[in-house]
Amino acid sequence: MLNIKNLEAKVDNKHILNGLNLDIKPGEVHAIMGPNGSGKSTLANILSGKNGYKTKGEIKFDGQNLSELSTEERAQKGIFLAFQYPLEIPGVNTNVFLRTSLNSIRKARGEKEIDTLSFLKLVKEKSSELGIDEKFLSRQLNVGFSGGEKKKNEILQMKILQPKLAILDETDSGLDIDALRIVADGVNSYKNKDNAFLIITHYQRLLDYIKPDFIHVLSKGKIVKTGNAELGIELEKTGYTNFI
């Protein structure tokens, strides 16, 4: 589904990614761990099409060259990023945002807009699965939401938009123990043989709930080690010093 070859990226002449390779197949869960500043969020941003990076190398998504697609086209084709720091948009009702977003994606897929009743039903179902009070959805998008609430809201969006590739950038940071379990359950219940996850995290505890097929260690813009779920447990004990 996703093939990254020799990806390099720089911002203002600062090299951030230095020849990164990664292949993700449908049905797989990949975790990326690595020290602060190693380039994890940068990778997520480049995959989702954020402006401002100079890149070299190749990224293919379902065989298509990603560099040809705008941010919204990538989203419409099924790439979803749960932001490390979700943005606040004052004056915009969360429900309205969700619906506008869903309709943009449906439109791009040649489907018709969702009607009000079906939308409300969908939102009700997904938000109750995540234990999100419906009152939240009539509030302004992320404005005044607590850190954990913002993260849950990202997962709600994921479940409504139904992406093929979901990139979660430190979604677990800031979640309390119960919320962590709820979010993990949310991911596990969404996971199937046709979609894939790229999970960026600092903590093994998330990976206790969501079993990754692969764990990659990113350091200075490169994957320096790839292993299976065991690697996380080892990292938890020894830290990154053995690998970087």
Ligand X SMILES: Nc1ncnc2c1ncn2[C@@H]1O[C@H](COP(=O)(O)OP(=O)(O)OP(=O)(O)O)[C@@H](O)[C@H]1O
Binding footprint of Mg ion on the chain (CB under 5 A): 40-41, 84
> Is residue 198 a contact point for ligand X (CB under 6 A)?
no
Closest approach of other proteins to the CB of residue 72, in Å = 5
Q: What is the largest CA-CA distance in the chain?
A: 55
The residues pairing with 215 across neighbouring beta strands, listed in sequence order, are 31, 227
Query: How many of the other CB atoms lie within 10 Å of CB of 123?
Result: 21
Residue (94 or 171) nearer to ligand X, CB = 171
- 10 Å CB burial of residue 237 (0-12, 13-18, 19+) is exposed
With CB cut-offs between 5 and 8 Å by kind, which of other proteins, ligand X, Mg ion, none does residue 38 bind?
ligand X
Number of residues in contact with ligand X under rule CB under 6 A: 14
Q: What binding mask, one character per residue, do residues 202-221 give for other proteins by CB under 8 A, x or -?
A: --------------------
Touching other proteins, residues 130-149 (CB under 8 A): 140-141
Distance CA 34, CA 219 (A): 6
Closest approach of ligand X to the CB of residue 170, in Å = 6
Asked whether the beta carbons of 182 and 151 are under 8 A apart, the reply is no
Residue with tokens 């969404």: 190
Asked whether the beta carbons of 27 and 88 are under 8 A apart, the reply is no
Residue (34 or 212) nearer to ligand X, CB = 34
With CB cut-offs between 5 and 8 Å by kind, which of other proteins, Mg ion, ligand X, none does residue 183 bind?
none
> Is residue 13 a contact point for ligand X (CB under 6 A)?
no
> Is residue 95 a contact point for ligand X (CB under 6 A)?
no
Instruction: Estimate to the nearest angstrom the gap between the alpha carbon of 241 and the chain centroid.
Output: 27
Closest approach of ligand X to the CB of residue 138, in Å = 31
Measure the N-to-C terminal CA separation of the chain; round to a whole number of Å: 29
Of 243, 178, 187, the residue nearest 38 (C-alpha): 243
Of 220, 181, 175, 179, the residue nearest 38 (C-alpha): 220
Among 5, 6, 25, 37, binds ligand X (CB under 6 A): 37
Among 37, 108, 124, 134, binds other proteins (CB under 8 A): 108
238 three-state secondary structure: helix
Q: What binding mask, one character per residue, do residues 44-83 give for ligand X by CB under 6 A, x or -?
A: --------x-------------------------------
Q: Tokens in use for 22?
A: 């990664």
With CB cut-offs between 5 and 8 Å by kind, which of Mg ion, ligand X, other proteins, none does residue 137 bind?
none
Residues forming the site for ligand X (CB under 6 A):
11-12, 14, 16, 34, 36-42, 52, 84
